Structure formats: structure tokens, C-alpha cells
Amino acid sequence: MKIGFIGLGIMGSAMAANLVRGGFEVTVWNRSPEAFKPLAGMGATIALSPCAVAENSDITISMMANPIAVEAVRDGKEGIIAGLSPGKGFIDMSTVDDGTSLETARMADEAGAMFLEAPVAGSRKPAEDATLTIMAAGSRTLYDRSLPILETLGKKILFLGETGNASRMKLANNIVMCGTLTALCEGMRLASSAGLDMAQLLEVLDSGAVSNPMFRLKGPLIASNREFPAAFPLKHMQKDLRLALRLAEDVGQPLFTTATINELFKKALAGGLGDLDFAAVSRVI
């Protein structure tokens, strides 16, 4: 099976590499050409445009930063849609709003192709280790056909029904994750201000009901206020908060905590922390 992969950032480069290692014939494209080199060295083919990727592939995957970036590689004469034809598949693994996914599905259908939205839960290390959680929705035929691909990328794959459901599920997941991380930052700051040892607080947390891998990974970074290398860039989390609040507006659901946390993340962005890991929000707390 010929697989196309578009978007070789923190997540996409690791995911495309896993597909090459998995024995798939992979064609790649990225806006920044320097990302091509490691994959070309592994045996991936380099294409000149997203359209060329889709033309050369049975299934094309995109992994972009936001809805604007998705549209940039999807639309126009050099975009993915222009390279699709009947029987081909398009999987967008970006975290976007449901409206973007629904529009992509409509465009793919007009081209006679199948569409699946499949955002992931996980950051750099799970992408590298192929232990992502993948939330898929859209064409069941394409889901069944692409399952060997998805299983090469993740450890947990769910099919959620019609297009839009996976985008909504991913946003719900991310506001819980972000809220939990923010609570950790506040708790650690309170402990420090009260003269307590933050490392001991992390021990207490890890021994109780809120023990989780994210606290074990991010807690020491927050305690030491190191450089926060981006496993999940803060600017992308703020984008997800913004999309979640827009979805909440659409469905009439108040999100009191998320709205407040979004203001903290906006302050962190304004302070130049956008390219750091989202745990760097601790610096404004």
C-alpha cells in the first residue's frame, strides 16, 4: 500500500518514520524542506507538492498544526484534494474544529475519494513509540482499509462514527488534559509559596488518586523551571482551547474553567512562551 504523509513537524516526522519502518511505501511533503532529509535517508520518497503526494498514494495522511495549515495543504491546484481520485483515501490527523473536518469530507467526496478524520492523543514520545491514541470518524470503509496503518502509529484506535465526532472528542480530551496540568502548576506554586518542597508534593500526588504519567513527566520540569523542550507546544494547546470554546459556544455549553485557563495561556503566548512545551504556562502562574 502506498502511503502519503504531509506535515513533518514534531508529531508528523515521528509518525511518518514509523510508517517507513513498518514496511509501507511512503511519499512525504513538508512546507520546510529540511524536514525531508531524515525520512529520505530512511527510504521515503520526496514529493514536490501535496497534490503530488496524493496522486502517488493510495491513502494520504496530513498532520498539520491548525485549521489554517490544513486548508493550505488541502486546497488549490497544488493541494491534496486536487490529487485525489475515485477510490483513494484522505486521513487528516490534525487537531481541528469539526467544521474544518466536515468541509474536508465534502471536498473529498466531490473528488470521489473517502475521508477519515483521525486526531491523536499523545505528544512527541508517544508519536515516536507508536503508542498514540487515535480517534477516527468518517468513512467506515476507509477506516477498515487503513487499520493496519493506524495500528502502526498507535496503541488504541477508536472509531467514533460520523465525521466531526473525532474532532469534538479530541477537543474534550485536551481541555481535561490542560485543566489538569494547570491545576498541577497552581498546586506546585502554592506549595512553594507556603515553604513546602515541590518534589515532596509530587511524591504525595503520585501516591494517590491523581497519580498519572503527565504529572511524573511535567512535574520535575515545572519544579526546576527548566527550558521546557516542546513535546506539545504551548501555542498549539492554546489553539485547542480556543477551538473547544468555539465548540462550546455552538452547543450552548458553559466552560467556566476552560475559559479561565485560556486566559492564562493567552498571557503565556503574549509573554513569548508559545514555542515551549505547554507546561511552560507555569511561568505565568
Is 247 in the same domain as 177? yes
Is 185 in the same domain as 255? yes
Is 7 in the same domain as 141? yes
- pLDDT of 36 > 90? The answer is no
Q: What is the pLDDT of residue 57?
A: 98
Considering 128, 162, 196, which residue would you say is the last residue of a domain? 162
Is 138 in the same domain as 42? yes
- pLDDT of 33 > 90? The answer is no
- pLDDT of 235 > 90? The answer is yes
Mean pLDDT, range 116-143, rounded to an integer: 97
Is 33 in the same domain as 112? yes
Q: What is the pLDDT of residue 226?
A: 81
Using CA atoms, how far apart are residues 122 and 133, in angstroms rounded to an integer?
7
Cell 504556562 found at: 281
In this structure, which amino acid lies at residue 137?
Answer: A
Using CA atoms, how far apart are residues 124 and 144, in angstroms rounded to an integer?
26
Those residues whose C-beta lies under 8 Å from the C-beta of residue 115, and which sit 6 or more positions away, are: 89, 90, 91, 92, 104, 105, 108, 109, 138, 139, 142, 163
Using CA atoms, how far apart are residues 107 and 74, in angstroms rounded to an integer?
9
- pLDDT of 240 > 90? The answer is yes
Q: For residue 266, which of 235, 240, 244 has the smallest C-alpha distance?
A: 235
Of the pLDDT bands very low, low, confident and very high (cuts 50, 70, 90), residue 72 is very high
Those residues whose C-beta lies under 8 Å from the C-beta of residue 7, and which sit 6 or more positions away, are: 30, 62, 63, 64, 65, 69, 73, 94
Is 115 in the same domain as 190? no
How does the average pLDDT of the chain come out, rounded? 97
| Global confidence as pTM | 0.94
Coil vs helix vs strand at 34 = helix
- pLDDT of 2 > 90? The answer is yes
Q: What is the pLDDT of residue 249?
A: 97
Domain housing 255: 168-284
Q: What is the pLDDT of residue 189?
A: 97
Cell 475559559 found at: 259
Is 6 in the same domain as 60? yes
Is 126 in the same domain as 13? yes
Mean pLDDT, range 220-239, rounded to an integer: 93
Query: Based on the structure, what is the number of domains in the chain?
Result: 2
* Neighbour-count burial for 143-166, b at 16+ CB within 10 Å, e otherwise: bebbeebbebbbeebebbeebbbb
Please give the share of the chain, as a percent, with pLDDT higher than 90: 96
Coil vs helix vs strand at 72 = helix
What letter does residue 254 receive in the DSSP assignment?
A: -
Using CA atoms, how far apart are residues 217 and 115, in angstroms rounded to an integer?
35
Q: What is the pLDDT of residue 56?
A: 97
Mean pLDDT, range 51-61, rounded to an integer: 98
Please give the share of the chain, as a percent, with pLDDT higher than 70: 100
Using CA atoms, how far apart are residues 195 and 189, in angstroms rounded to an integer?
10
Positions marked catalytic: 170
Q: For residue 237, which of 99, 121, 117, 133 has the smallest C-alpha distance?
A: 121
Q: What is the pLDDT of residue 268?
A: 98
Q: What is the pLDDT of residue 175?
A: 98
Is 22 in the same domain as 145? yes
User: Which domain CATH number covers 24?
Assistant: 3.40.50.720
Mean pLDDT, range 143-168, rounded to an integer: 98
Is 203 in the same domain as 158? no
Mean pLDDT, range 213-233, rounded to an integer: 93
**238 touches 277 (CB < 8 A):** no
- pLDDT of 86 > 90? The answer is yes
**92 touches 59 (CB < 8 A):** no
Using CA atoms, how far apart are residues 107 and 80, in angstroms rounded to an integer?
10
Is 56 in the same domain as 134? yes
Is 135 in the same domain as 11? yes
- pLDDT of 272 > 90? The answer is yes
